[in-house]
């Protein structure tokens, strides 16, 4: 019951992160210092991706890469910012799910250890009880031997030997 609700909550967080990312994108270009920062990020990203594409397609890489115009750089940067935000929310949800699963597995493992320990203690207790009963049987055999009752009680034969069956003729 909890797992489906948790998965539904994770999906809701991911879905809600998209409008938040859109809002961030809309507000990102308005602040002058932040605008300049994202323009620099966009220009760096443009240079990097263009260089990688040129290397992949075996084009000349020593050619100067023209910078993006300011509006295109802002648009690319806010798109990148929105994608990074949505991706980071998804990564956080995955990390949360992995940690939750890990804690659940640790609890199950601890329960298994406790169960095994309880079984071990029970086994030891039963072993001590068997040893105590063996001692009592030996004491009874000793007392019977001292009193001459071994022929009447047949302790020795019932404990240590199988009764001998008559051979069929």
Do 77 and 38 form a contact (C-beta atoms < 8 A)?
Answer: yes
Query: Is residue 69 pLDDT above 80, yes or no?
Result: yes
Instruction: Read off the pLDDT band of 84 (50, 70, 90).
Output: confident
Do 80 and 41 form a contact (C-beta atoms < 8 A)?
Answer: yes
Query: Is residue 152 pLDDT above 60, yes or no?
Result: no
Query: Is residue 137 pLDDT above 50, yes or no?
Result: yes
Helix (H/G/I), strand (E/B), else coil: 144: helix
């Amino acid at each position: 019951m909890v797992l489906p609700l948790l998965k539904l909550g994770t999906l809701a967080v991911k879905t809600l992160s998209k409008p938040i990312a859109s809002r961030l994108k809309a507000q990102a270009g308005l602040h002058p210092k932040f605008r300049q920062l994202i323009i620099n990020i966009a220009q760096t990203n443009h240079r990097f991706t263009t260089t990688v594409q040129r290397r992949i397609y075996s084009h000349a890489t020593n050619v100067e890469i023209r910078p993006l115009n300011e509006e295109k750089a802002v648009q690319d940067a806010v798109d990148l910012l929105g994608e990074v935000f949505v991706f980071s929310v998804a990564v956080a949800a995955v990390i949360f799910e992995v940690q939750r699963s890990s804690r659940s597995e640790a609890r199950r493992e601890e329960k298994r250890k406790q169960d095994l320990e309880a079984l071990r203690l029970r086994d030891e207790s039963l072993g001590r009880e068997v040893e105590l009963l063996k001692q009592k049987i030996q004491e009874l055999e000793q007392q019977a031997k001292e009193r001459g009752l071994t022929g009447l009680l047949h302790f020795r034969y019932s404990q240590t030997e199988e009764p001998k069956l008559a051979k069929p003729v």
